[in-house]
Amino acid sequence: FQYLTGLPVEWRRGVDLMHSEDNVFVPRVGEPILTLSPGSGRHSEDSWIGDTRVIEKGESYPDVVKKVSMDLDWEQGRIGVGEHVRGSTWREVARSFKGASFRGAGNLMDDLRMIKEPGEIEALRKVAKVTDEVMGEVIPGIESGTTQNEIRIVIEMLARKAGASDISFPP
């Protein structure tokens, strides 16, 4: 979700903390549609996706999914579903996309993610530099009796102080 939308979702801290209405529908041909919960709606302008639908309080998510299926002009076929899609979302997609067959889509982006754009390469260089700096500060301070949790907290604090938005691979 984060990779596809560009939204600042801290999914590593608990996928279950995301809202079930936060989904991206990507057709085989055409532009994607992003649905966001009222709680995530403040990020609607942060995504490159033009068709972003913020669920209004009191609005029915099943009705929104039904409208998405109509707007995508979906008739039949396979639907790939990401690894962290909630059961309630699966149910609504199955109801609105009649006759669909489902498959896991967790690996559909793997080949695309391997190829890096120049901006992604530069971001990786910055991350590597921050990581080197942080670890250069952390390693000398590790003593006998220091817990993993204490080290994790120091790493995260120093990384965020250096400008990191999150820790990709927690220690």
The per-residue pLDDT for range 104-130, each reduced to its tens digit, is 887 777 777 788 889 989 989 999 999
Question: What CA dihedral angle connects 64, 18, 23 and 111, to 10 degrees?
Answer: -170
Task: Tell which residue, 39, 61, 35, 45, has the closest CA to residue 6.
Answer: 45
Over residues 12-39, the mean pLDDT reads 80
Q: How far, CA to CA in Å, does 160 sit from each of 102, 155, 167? A: 39, 9, 9
**Tell me: the pLDDT tens digits for 1-19?**
777 888 876 655 555 557 8
Q: Residues 126-151: pLDDT tens digits? A: 999 999 999 999 999 899 999 999 99
Over residues 78-86, mean pLDDT: 82
> What is the Cα–Cα distance from 44 to 49, expressed in whole angstroms?
9
